[in-house]
Each structure stands twice: as C-alpha cells, then as structure tokens.
Structure 1
Amino acid sequence: MSTSQHNLLNEQHSPYHCQLLYAGKLNANPDWKLPLHKHEDLHEIIFIVKGVGTYIIDDKVYTAKKGDLLIYNRGILHEERSHPEDPLFTYYCGFRFLPLIAETRDWVIHPDREPVIRSNHYSNELLLLMKTLFEEFSIRNEGYEQISQHLFEAVFLLIERMIHAQNHTAKESKAPLANRIKEFLDTNYTHQLNLKDIAMMFHIDSYYLIHIFTNNFGISPINYLIQRRMGEATYLLTTTNKKIWEVAKMVGYENPNYFSIMFTKIVGESPREFRKNNQKNHYNKKN
C-alpha cells in the first residue's frame, strides 16, 4: 500500500446537506510533508490515528497528535508536516455543502474558533467511522457510494459534537506554538539547550523550529537564547557583586571564557569592562 491513498467519489446527487468527494489514508512516513496550499471548492477533515504533526492553518501554527481532529474550511491556507521520530498515521476526507446550505453556511467550523479539535470522548467512535469509511472506498463493492455517504453523515454529526465539546474560541485558545517556544526559552535559558533538544520538546524538527520562531520574532531561537542570557548577565553584573564565573554559570555557561567571548561579541565590551562602566551609575540611581 502506498504512503498516501486517496480515492475519488464521482459527483452525484445527495439527499443530505453535504456531499462526500473523497476519502483517504496517510500511512506513517517520517519524511511526509505537504507545503502551503488550500482547497478553493471543498472542505477537508483529518483525524490523527497516531503520531505527531505540525500544521500551519491560516497563519497559526499547531501541533496535533493521536485523537486530534483538524478541520480545513474551504479556501483556508494550510501546511502539514509529520514528525520524523513519531510519524503521522491519519484518515481524511473531503466534501462540500450542497448549494442551498453553502449560501448560508459555507464553513465546517466557525472562522472564530480553533480549527484543531483536541481528543475527547468521541475520538474512538470517530476513529471507527473514519476507518470504515476508508475501507468502503478501498473495496468499492456494489453500493459503496451510498454506504460511504451514510457513513460520512455520521462522521459529520459526530464532528459537530466534538466541536461543541471543545467550547472555546480561537482567541481564548492556547498561545501559538511560537509563543510557547519563547516562553520555554525564557523559563529555561539557564539550562544547556540546543536546537534538537528544543525541537524534541515541542515534537517538531529543527527546521520547523527555526522557521516558526524566526517568522514570529525576527530572530532565530538560538540567537534569542543567547540574547536572553546576555540580557540577564548585564543585569547581574550591574546589580550584584558576584564574580564573572558565577554570573556565567547563572545564565547557562559552564565555561566562563566562552561566556566572556560571547558577552563581548554581543554587548561590545568584556564583562569586566561592562561592570566597571555601568555598575557605579546604576548604584548612584538607587541611592
């Protein structure tokens, strides 16, 4: 079986308010990714059976995992990427609303709400329906179109339950991934961190880590980490009498010589010079 299976359903009249167009399955592939794109004439839903993925939906970054459901309204830009160490296995399908419905409601989830529905008590039931729907498409026995349409109607109704169960709007949801990464760096800048460590913490690869962080803050995560450490070091140098090696250790550098080199590069003068030129003025302002 190929990495991604995608079966099309011939368009036909449907007695329901939405028409199923295709159903597919993505097998676990650590290298799988789908660049930024959108569907102008249909909606798509993706259910994560297992694994972790990074998704950019309408300029916001989300991390989704087992049991989560992703909803792409028609015309919404989105990008998808599987985690290399925990690859995605998903079921998905595409559909459109019939004209009379589309005139008044051409969205699956309201644009103000978060497009990622987190795993809840309906997830197992949805998994069974999505799996059966895909298998019906794959076997294509007589009458599969009608059976698939009935299955999708059940899927759609269950999705509406899941949406209602997640009762919050996008504005009330958790901070975007970039903000979470920044908060992590702000909290853990004294620890020994590298790109791989940070990326693993958020279940993304190093490329995405750099891409997401730089696009949001205009600086790479490692350079931000360095700036964060040096900012704290300048404060400690001007407000305490701690030795330079102690300051170095407090901001995450075991090697004081390396700390001095980095400090000089970033600040423009050595830690000793900086302290000499700034500490007296600082204390004068306090006294």
Structure 2
Amino acid sequence: MSQQLIKSESAPFIHNAGIKHVKEGETFFKAMHNHPECAEILLILEGEGTYSIDGISYKVEPQSIVIYNQGVWHEERAVSNKPHKMLYAAFSNFKVEGLPDGHLVSKNVSPIAPIENFLLIEELFKELVKESESTDFESNWVARNLVGALLGLILRNIYKRGSTKKNSNKHKIIGEVKHYIQENYHQNITLEELAKISYISPYYLSHLFKELTGITPFQYLMQYRIEVSKHLLINSNSTINQISYQVGYQSETHFQNLFKKIVGVTPGKYRE
C-alpha cells in the first residue's frame, strides 16, 4: 500500500500562479516578506541567486524547487544582471501529515531541492499556469487539481530522497550512466544524452553523479578515455594520433596534453 502524506479532502485553492522572466541586464530582488494566508512553490528554470528563507540563506540553481511554507519570511535575490526565470504558484487548503496547516516541509528539511523528474514537473507547472489564467470551462477546477498533482510529486521527490530504496536507485542510475560511458566513450557524449537514458534532468544527474563518485560525468568520461588509451598504447600497434581518435579526441595535441596531465608522462613515454 502506498504511503499517503497529503491528508486534504479537496484540491488546494489557488491564490495566484504565473511565470517570472527577468532578462539579462535587469535586476531581480524581492525584499523580506511573507504570505500569511498561503504557501508558495517556485520552479527555477534559468539563472542563479541567493534566497533567504526563515533566516537561512540558500543558493538557488536551475531545475530546483523552492518551497515557502505558509507565513514563512523570505527574500529573493538573483545574480546581478543575469537572466532569471521561474514558474510560481501560491495556494492554500492543503494538509500534510504531521505538519501545521499550510506547511509542505518541516524545519529539518531543506526548502530548496533539486528535482529528479524535472521535465514532468515543468510540464505540469506550465499547464497549471495556463489553466489558472484561462476562462475556459472548468479551468479553475483543472488548475486546482494540477496543484494537487504537483504537490504529490514534489513531496515524493523530497521525502524519498533519504530512504534506503532511493539510495539504492541512485546507485543504479549512476551504474547505468557509467556503463553507457564505457561503451560509448569514443563518441561525443553530452550531459543531455546521459540524462535522457537515465530519465532524470541533466542538473540532477550532474548533482547525483558528483555526490556518489566525487567527480562529474565528464571527468569520469575523460578518465575512462585515458584508461582505454593506456591499454591501447601497450597492447596495440596504433599510432598515438590513431589512438587519440579511437578514444574520442579530434586533436592529438589536446589528447597528448590531457594524457600527460592525468598520467604524469606523455603517451610516447608511457609506451616505452
């Protein structure tokens, strides 16, 4: 039987929803304020900043969710003169088990978190904004239920992160990414490509990979290419130029410099 955290008997009420797009060269700053009658969620699409929530400063990045419990004091400041884009929704009439009315997270849970299923949440959020602004038949009811769906997905994302099952799934994802790199290292692999085979967002994959391995996916790719080139230098008659192409580098000079930086000697010296 699935765990049920949301105890509300009806869909949340929407106070407002929309999209905020600060263009390059513009300033985005919202002084300290709160919303006594509703909670609010933000989905960061673009740009970085520093948000103060309940007296604590947090760094916000793309593809992360920001949660303001009802009544919490907060301040928003984007990186100066850089683009900043977000989707937002304020709502009330919901109850999460074990928490005060209007609260989505407890004080020991970070109100800012990377989103695992970002693309799905982004699409639902955009549809919510569209319906909340529409005058079409039953648009308000559709928008309210979309808020409910978003809350369920966000709570699932937050409260499963610390579980054993979730940790096991994290290692499975990274294992699959490593396996893909090992079989395709000679190709031009992108972070978006790795995210697609993992069914998670590029930002979350990069965050997760470094959390579990200590390095980024591209650092792993680079290290694996060097390991393959070491094997080829010892066990094949291919020239260094041929080997550089075989492991995915179009420039022999770049390969030589990278090899020496990682191994400590040039490919030619290693082969001796």
2:55 matched to 1:70? no
Q: Give the letter aligned to residue 89 of structure 1.
A: K
2:106 matched to 1:110? yes
2:187 is matched with none
TM-score in terms of structure 1 length: 0.49
1:54 is matched with 50
2:84 is matched with 88
1:130 to 120, 125, 130: 125
Q: Counterparts of 2:139 and 2:11 in 1: how far apart (Å)?
A: 19
Q: Counterparts of 1:63 and 1:103 in 2: how far apart (Å)?
A: 25
Rg comparison, structure with higher value:
1
Per the TM alignment, residue 119 of structure 1 is displaced from its structure 2 partner at its CA by 3.1
1:20 is matched with 14
Q: Counterparts of 1:101 and 1:20 in 2: how far apart (Å)?
A: 21
Per the TM alignment, residue 102 of structure 1 is displaced from its structure 2 partner at its CA by 9.9
Q: Counterparts of 1:103 and 1:154 in 2: how far apart (Å)?
A: 19
Where 2:40 maps in the other structure, the secondary structure is: strand
CA 1:150 to 1:79, structure 2 compared with 1: closer, same or farther past 3 Å?
Answer: same
Q: Counterparts of 2:48 and 2:37 in 1: how far apart (Å)?
A: 28
Q: Counterparts of 2:96 and 2:78 in 1: how far apart (Å)?
A: 37
Q: Counterparts of 2:157 and 2:99 in 1: how far apart (Å)?
A: 24
TM-score in terms of structure 2 length: 0.52
2:165 matched to 1:143? no
CA 1:104 to 1:26, structure 2 compared with 1: closer, same or farther past 3 Å?
Answer: closer
8 Å CA contact 1:118–1:166 kept in 2: the answer is no
2:195 matched to 1:163? no
Q: Counterparts of 2:43 and 2:74 in 1: how far apart (Å)?
A: 15
For residues 22-41 of structure 1, the aligned pairs below 5 Å read 22-29=16-23, 30-41=26-37
8 Å CA contact 1:45–1:94 kept in 2: the answer is yes
Per the TM alignment, residue 101 of structure 1 is displaced from its structure 2 partner at its CA by 7.8
Runs of at least 5 residues in structure 1 that lack an aligned partner in the other structure? 1-13, 169-287
Per the TM alignment, residue 100 of structure 1 is displaced from its structure 2 partner at its CA by 11
Find runs of 4+ consecutive structure 1 residues off by over 4 angstroms: 98-105
2:256 is matched with none
Q: Counterparts of 1:134 and 1:86 in 2: how far apart (Å)?
A: 24
Q: Counterparts of 1:106 and 1:145 in 2: how far apart (Å)?
A: 20
8 Å CA contact 1:53–1:87 kept in 2: the answer is no
8 Å CA contact 2:11–2:144 kept in 1: the answer is no
CA 1:136 to 1:55, structure 2 compared with 1: closer, same or farther past 3 Å?
Answer: same
Q: Counterparts of 2:127 and 2:94 in 1: how far apart (Å)?
A: 24
Per the TM alignment, residue 167 of structure 1 is displaced from its structure 2 partner at its CA by 2.7
> Which deviations, in whole Å up to 9, do the C-alpha atoms of 1:173-202 show, x marking residues without a partner?
xxxxxxxxxxxxxxxxxxxxxxxxxxxxxx
Q: Counterparts of 2:98 and 2:36 in 1: how far apart (Å)?
A: 13
Q: Counterparts of 2:77 and 2:118 in 1: how far apart (Å)?
A: 22
Task: Please say which of residues 105-114 and 35-44 is displaced more in the overlay.
Answer: 105-114
> Which deviations, in whole Å up to 9, do the C-alpha atoms of 1:37-79 show, x marking residues without a partner?
1111111100001111210011111111111000001121100
Per the TM alignment, residue 106 of structure 1 is displaced from its structure 2 partner at its CA by 3.7
8 Å CA contact 1:17–1:101 kept in 2: the answer is no
Where 2:22 maps in the other structure, the secondary structure is: coil
Percent of residue pairs identical: 24
CA 1:60 to 1:104, structure 2 compared with 1: closer, same or farther past 3 Å?
Answer: closer
Q: Give the letter aligned to residue 161 of structure 1.
A: R
Per the TM alignment, residue 105 of structure 1 is displaced from its structure 2 partner at its CA by 4.4
The number of residue pairs the alignment matches comes to 154
CA 1:127 to 1:42, structure 2 compared with 1: closer, same or farther past 3 Å?
Answer: same
Where 1:27 maps in the other structure, the secondary structure is: strand
